[in-house]
Amino acid sequence: MNNQLVVKIESDIENLYTIYSTSVRNLGTPVFPKQSFIELQKIFAHRCEIFTIFHQDVAVSSVMSFYYKGRVLPHYGGGLSQARDLKSNDFMYYKLMCHAKERGCHYFDFGRSKVGSGSYSYKKHWGMSINPMSYQYYLVKSKQLPSLSASNPKYKFVILLWSKLPLLVSQKIGPLLARHLG
């Protein structure tokens, strides 16, 4: 609250896409195409908002959220490197909670996270309720589930390499790869 942060509800996805694609690139993950975010905004219309946090007129955190039946679901979000020191993600989610309450929401759905991951710890820090999810798999040719986790050692080098790509390169190549990830 003391970092002179400003929240804006934006209709343009440019800040969101830059921040989100930077965040996922830094995590070693390909980003979805920009057009996907434009389409989501069109399809969900007034049930979709983009919250962007600015510090000294620079966008540092942003999230695309969806509203449905009294719930807000912040789904695509991230922060630039300076977001950590500014605590702009905390500010963003706090302001989103306040705004959603004003819109009549009574439920903040922070989404799923793997137990033990950084996002799990972050959400737990906010005091979110934990609701375990069950999954079923149909194995066609395999006898066991593949380990597609980012913590799988066989992906370590690829993740490290991806996180070092220039942002524009990751934004061009990422959408081609993202459609094949599950």
User: Whole-angstrom distance between the N-terminal and C-terminal Cα of the chain?
Assistant: 38
Domain housing 118 = 5-178
Q: Which residues, 6+ apart, have CB-to-CB distance to 74 below 8 Å? A: 51, 63, 64, 65, 93, 96, 108, 110, 111
24 closest CA partner among 79, 98, 86, 90: 79
How are beta strands 107-108 and 71-79 bridged, if at all? Answer: parallel
The domain that holds 170 is classified in CATH as 3.40.630.30
70 closest CA partner among 126, 108, 123: 108
Q: How many domains does the chain have?
A: 1
- Report the mean per-residue pLDDT for the chain: 91
pLDDT (0 to 100) of residue 63: 97
Cα angle for residues 157, 142, 181 (degrees, 5° grid): 45
Q: Are 52 and 83 in contact (CB under 8 A)?
A: no
pLDDT digits (tens), the chain, 182 positions: 789 999 999 999 999 999 999 999 999 999 999 999 999 999 999 999 999 999 999 999 999 999 999 999 999 999 999 999 999 999 999 999 999 999 999 999 888 888 777 788 888 888 888 888 888 888 888 888 877 677 778 888 988 999 999 999 999 999 998 877 65
Beta strands in 3-161 (DSSP E): 5-10, 48-55, 58-68, 71-79, 107-108
